[in-house]
Amino acid sequence: MKMPPRHFQGLRCGYYALLFGLLAAPASAQQTLHLPAEDRWLEADFEELYRLGTMAGEDWEQFGWIGSVAFDGAGNLSVLDRLMSNQLVFVVGSDGRLVRQLGGPGEGPGEFSYAASMAVFADGRVAVADLGRRGYHLFGADGEFERLVRIAEPSAILNVGQVVAQPGADAVIGVPSLATAWTISAAAFRTSVRFPTSHAFERTYLSGEEIVTDTVAEAWLPPVDISDMDHTDLVNTAPKPTSALPEFSPELHWGVLPDGRVAFSDSATYAVKVVEAGAGVVRILSRPFQPEPMTGRMIRAEKRRRVDRLEENAAPGANLQARRRSIEELEFHTELSVIRGLATTWDGNIWVLRRGEGPLDNGPIDVLTPDGRYLGSYPAGTTALPAAFGPDGLVAFVEISELGVRTVVVKRMVERPAGGGHSSAKGR
């Protein structure tokens, strides 16, 4: 497939933020808060409750491909196994024991054709996006299948990434341009394909028989030149335009707050934006950390790392010439972004993962409040960014061993004074 030229590669990210930003709100409605530069260290203190997916675990917890993990308000954890031969949601109680399982491959009521993502509501209901059935399966808090909410007018390309239940509404929020799964219909080759020009936060209502979708806000998506791409290229690329960007381009990181607002980062700078539906960006939280220029030494080291990994994983006698060449021809963004991840807790805190020393290293995790308070930072290496937060300090991590075994580790954050007199910023 022909790759689009990188005409935008030389742009600076400060220019990005000024020129693009979020499209929905007037500048006068935004409040920019400059948070302290000095880190105030927090102690990462967790009590491990249980593990799922270990080699010594039960047969049901030998996951194939963990697609989503999420807690409900009672502290039950749901795990979506997206492996096509499994396609199951496992609901696990606070003691780590299996409560029930939902779905499974098939065409019957509550069975999945192509389970792509999952959202869990506080009351225990579960919604599973099914690309094969082109809709959302809804399960009650008791695990009983309720109905399939269908897409009214199936598009040529149906794409679904992470979805999160919106608190207080029968709706989920997602960003289709970050899709991890998609389907393409035959009509795609006969109709025009719209290439995304922004990251749209789409809210999908599930209260009727057919889904209704609106756009909560739009975040910046780096421009991609598609002038030399034919229709087939567009069809194959449109579900995930970020795959056509230079390496280490700024990524979108986001989470949904308990009041339904969205917090996100969409540039290389340290700018966390809080957005309200209908109002756009209402607040920008900033710390004075700057992107680091991408040097030739960094680029050579990263290409070498990828070639070494390719050779380590190659089958004996495999011809790697073409793949080595594709690595050598990779283009890289001019800067390394400050923010590498973002998540939101049940009590409304925002966890922001900063970049560490190297291009691929994780650094400290800052804890902010949406109203602009800096609570402190967890030092690099003391905790990872959780895959899911739950009530009463519950957190879930997804760990992958060297052999590719996926394990879900559930812990509880412990409120305890740290050595410097500060307590851990508990995500209640």
User: What is the predicted pLDDT for the residue at 130?
Assistant: 95
- Which one has a higher pLDDT value, 152 or 426? 152
H helix and E strand count, the chain: 4, 29
User: What is the predicted pLDDT for the residue at 4?
Assistant: 38
User: What is the predicted pLDDT for the residue at 232?
Assistant: 81
Tokens of 421: 């007199």
Tell me which of 128-132, 178-182, 336-340 is least confident.
178-182
User: What is the predicted pLDDT for the residue at 427?
Assistant: 45
Q: Is residue 152 pLDDT above 80, yes or no? A: no
Q: Is residue 1 pLDDT above 80, yes or no? A: no
Tokens of 404: 């590719």
Q: In the structure, what pLDDT confidence band is assigned to residue 16 with cuts at 50, 70 and 90?
A: very low
Q: Is residue 13 pLDDT above 60, yes or no? A: no
- To the nearest 10 degrees (0 to 180), the angle between helices 296-313 and 321-328 is 160
| 299 DSSP assignment | H
User: What is the predicted pLDDT for the residue at 27?
Assistant: 43
Distance of CA 186 to the CA centre of its chain: 29
User: What is the predicted pLDDT for the residue at 416?
Assistant: 57
Q: CA nearest 220: which of 159, 169, 284?
A: 284
User: What is the predicted pLDDT for the residue at 401?
Assistant: 84
Q: Which run of H or of E encompasses 119?
A: strand 115-120
Q: Is residue 222 pLDDT above 90, yes or no? A: no
pLDDT 10s digits, 158-202? 888 899 999 999 999 999 989 888 888 777 777 777 778 899 999
Q: Is residue 78 pLDDT above 90, yes or no? A: yes
Q: In the structure, what pLDDT confidence band is assigned to residue 425 with cuts at 50, 70 and 90?
A: low
What average pLDDT does the chain have? 88
Q: Is residue 428 pLDDT above 60, yes or no? A: no
* Cα–Cα distance, 272 to 253 (Å, whole number): 9
* Cα–Cα distance, 333 to 396 (Å, whole number): 32
* Section 16-45 average pLDDT: 70
For the chain, give the longest Cα–Cα distance. 65
- Which one has a higher pLDDT value, 22 or 379? 379
| Residues forming beta bridges with residue 243, ordered by sequence position | none
Tell me which of 100-109, 176-185, 221-230, 369-378 is least confident.
221-230
* Cα–Cα distance, 63 to 87 (Å, whole number): 10
Q: Is residue 25 pLDDT above 90, yes or no? A: no
Tokens of 320: 């790697």
Q: CA nearest 386: which of 346, 335, 356?
A: 346
Strand ranges (E), 134-252: 135-139, 145-150, 157-160, 163-165, 171-174, 181-184, 198-205, 212-220
Q: In the structure, what pLDDT confidence band is assigned to residue 384 with cuts at 50, 70 and 90?
A: very high
